[in-house]
Amino acid sequence: MTGLDLKPMLKPRSVAIIGASRDPDKVGHVILQNYINAGYSGKIYVVNNKADEIMGIKAYRNIRDIKAGIDLAVIAIPAEFVPDALEDCGKAGVKTTIVVSGGFAEIGKNDLQERLVQVARKYNMPTLGPNCLGVMDPRSRIDTLFLPTYKLSRPSVGGVSFVSQSGAVGSTILDLISSEGFGLSKFISYGNAAHIDEIDVLDYLMHDDETKVVIMYIEGIRRGREFLEAAKRISRVKPVIVLKGGKTAVGMAAARSHTAALAGDAQAYEAVFRQAGFIIADDISELLYYAKIMESEVPPAGNRVAIITNGGGAGVLATDAVGMSGKLKLAELSKKTIGSLAKIMPSLVNVRNPLDVAGDADEKRYGSALSLLMQDGGVDMFLVIALFQTPGADSKLAARLVDLKQKMEKPLVVVSIGAEYTKMHRIIMESGGVPVYDSPVDAVKSLAALYSYYTLRKARSKSNV
């Protein structure tokens, strides 16, 4: 690991909010309110040099007036006052700090940001930011995001940790995660990366037992060689999915004015990500799709896919997607499986892969088919298309798929396309740990990413690279 200990930041026993305010429009007010709303069980201190109390909590003029150990100080004051506040934190023995304030290198004030770094290094005090949203950990109930809960949904507890250089992209994706069927372990927005950067964060998450999967939004990296080594370390033990911002000349310029990031050549970054073993997402949707399957699925034994559908056209689209993936292939069903299926399927069902169980298929027909295919050694993963507009598809089917998924030792994803009735059943399935997708193409891409990651990881493990 790096020399920076981030545990007091993500699992703090005490938090001080410098810049806490009575004004609901102020960032410091929202952060304090979020801690209270989240039910944070540690000690909260507020620092405001013009108030005696805020929200019923005693206010201190200076953090040095607090005669107690502080694990984390969140700084939300104008940029020009931040270095002095950070100096006070160092003198008070604060273990870690987060600077949510903007107005540093991203607008050309490099000297001000360098002062911040000098203070952080002087006291060996890990400092996140500036110009960031900070952190959120649903388990320890910390939430430094200055975005109110009525505007930004907070995800449930889960195994995906999300690292974002951009606060705006980060908040958008966080909002989406809460409706995507998987939960959050940690959110870390690091902004300008003046002191703590993506390397420090990756090394921490690598050793974090609560993190199963890491997703990242990156605009630029300063320590390229060290990043590659850290990336290789973590990808050996858990999947990392990355979305790169600033791929074009105009995008790179936007990144520099946004987080002072050195965006660099997109092809060079992609080469680094692939060398590290990262899974590359082309947009936010792919980032979420890949995270969903990586969090919920076991490593596949191979790349052979069985497709079960109650809609012939949807099955054809799924078959096309498998053929065009370049990584997966249709499974060849054994004679035993074909014979067993022929005995239990209606005569109108053509027993083959893809298996169209017909438009009147109910949960019993799906269950019988899946139970048989699960025993076929030539099938490595399943893509089930459940169109809930058909007569036999209802809540019993959703519940049956959840039950089968929990018993299965092979990856299974579901494609369900539709509006309100379908969405209701998507929620049932995803709450039971079944990854559900809007289209066969998205499901196949996700299965291919799952197969590619574990194949590469296995190969690297054998070669010890």
- Domain spans of the chain, in order of start: 1-128, 152-296, 299-459
Distances (CA, A) of 44 to 72, 127, 133, 154, 377: 10, 19, 19, 21, 56
Q: Give the other-Cβ count within 10 Å of 42's Cβ.
A: 15
Domains 152-296 and 299-459 fall in the same CATH topology: yes
Distances (CA, A) of 410 to 328, 367, 393, 406, 447: 15, 15, 23, 10, 11
Assign 3-state DSSP to the chain and report helix, strand, coil percentages, each to 5. Answer: 45, 15, 40
Q: Does the domain spanning 1-128 belong to CATH 3.40.50.720?
A: yes
Greatest Cα-to-Cα distance within the chain, rounded to the nearest angstrom:
81
Say what the pTM is: 0.91
- Taking a C-beta distance cutoff of 8 angstroms, is the pair 213, 291 a contact? yes
Extract the residue ranges of the chain whose pLDDT is less than 70.
1-3, 247-264, 464-465
Q: Which residues of 402-438 are buried (b: 16+ CB within 10 A; e: fewer)?
A: bebbeebebbbbbbbbbeeebeebbebbbebebbbbe
Cα torsion 356, 361, 362, 367 to 10°: value is -30
DSSP H stretches of helix in 58-98: 82-92
Task: Give me the CATH topology for the region 299-459.
Answer: Rossmann fold (3.40.50)
Q: Tell which residue, 157, 170, 176, 86, has the closest CA to residue 124.
A: 86
Highest CATH level, class, for 152-296: alpha beta
Q: Which residues are paired to 132 by β-bridges?
A: none
The predicted-structure confidence for 324-369, as pLDDT tens digits, reads as follows: 999 999 999 999 999 999 999 999 999 999 999 999 999 999 999 9
- Taking a C-beta distance cutoff of 8 angstroms, is the pair 75, 27 a contact? no
Instruction: Give the C-alpha separation, 258 to 219, whole Å.
Output: 9
Instruction: Give the C-alpha separation, 130 to 314, whole Å.
Output: 48
Instruction: Give the C-alpha separation, 31 to 143, whole Å.
Output: 7
pLDDT of residue 4: 87
pLDDT of residue 463: 73
Q: How far is CA 243 from the centre of its chain?
A: 11
**Residue 382: partners with Cβ closer than 8 Å, 6 or more residues away:** 305, 306, 307, 308, 370, 373, 408, 410, 411, 412, 413
